[in-house]
C-alpha cells in the first residue's frame, strides 16, 4: 500500500487546501494528513489560530479523499514521518519546506519516500489563507 503524507495548518479550510489534498491522494492509496498544532500556528503565523487544532483535524478528516487526519507533533517535526513511514510526501505549491533538505533527512532516517511538490493550485490569488484573512479583516473593518 502506497501511503501519502501531506501537511498543513488548514486554519480556514478552503478550495486551495481541497485541491492540494485531492491531488496528494492521487499519488497513492492512503492519504494521511498532518494538521499543525495550535502552538505551531502561533510560531509560524505569529497569530492565534481561528479554529482549534482538534476542530481543524476533524474538518480535514471529513474530506472524502482523506483517509486519516492526525495532529502534528510538539517536538521533533520528523517524528511523525518516522512513525508513519510514507511512500510519498506531498508538499503544497506554496509550502516553504526545502525539498533537498527533506530528501536528505529521509535518507538519514532510512525512509525511501518520494517527495512531490503539488504544483496545481486553485485560484491562488483568491484561495490562499493569508489573502482570505486580509479579506475578512477588511470586510469586518477590524
How far apart are alpha carbons 70 and 54 in whole angstroms?
Answer: 9
Query: For domain 3-140, which CATH number applies: 3.40.50.620, 3.20.20.70, 3.50.50.60, 3.40.50.10490?
Result: 3.40.50.620
Nearest to 13 by CA among 50, 64, 68, 67: 50
Look at residue 132 and tell me whether its pLDDT is greater than 70.
no
Tens digits of residue pLDDT in 78-115: 999 999 999 999 999 888 888 899 999 999 999 999 99
- Confidence band (pLDDT; 50, 70, 90) for 15? confident
- Confidence band (pLDDT; 50, 70, 90) for 56? very high
Domain residue ranges of the chain, discontinuous segments joined by +: 3-140
pTM for this one?
A: 0.84
Nearest to 92 by CA among 4, 3, 19, 2: 19
Amino acid at each position: 500500500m502506497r501511503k501519502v503524507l501531506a501537511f498543513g495548518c488548514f486554519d480556514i479550510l478552503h478550495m486551495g487546501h481541497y485541491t492540494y489534498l485531492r491531488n496528494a491522494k492521487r499519488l497513492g492509496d492512503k492519504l494521511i494528513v498532518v494538521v499543525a498544532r495550535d502552538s505551531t500556528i502561533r510560531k509560524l503565523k505569529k497569530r492565534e489560530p481561528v479554529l482549534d487544532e482538534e476542530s481543524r483535524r476533524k474538518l480535514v478528516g471529513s474530506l472524502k479523499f482523506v483517509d486519516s487526519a492526525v495532529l502534528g507533533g510538539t517536538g521533533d517535526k520528523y517524528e511523525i514521518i518516522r512513525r508513519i513511514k510514507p511512500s510519498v510526501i506531498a508538499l503544497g505549491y506554496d509550502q516553504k519546506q526545502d525539498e533537498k533538505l527533506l530528501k536528505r533527512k529521509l535518507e538519514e532516517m532510512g525512509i525511501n519516500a518520494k517527495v512531490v511538490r503539488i504544483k496545481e493550485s486553485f485560484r491562488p490569488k483568491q484561495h490562499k489563507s493569508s489573502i482570505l484573512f486580509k479579506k475578512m479583516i477588511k470586510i469586518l473593518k477590524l
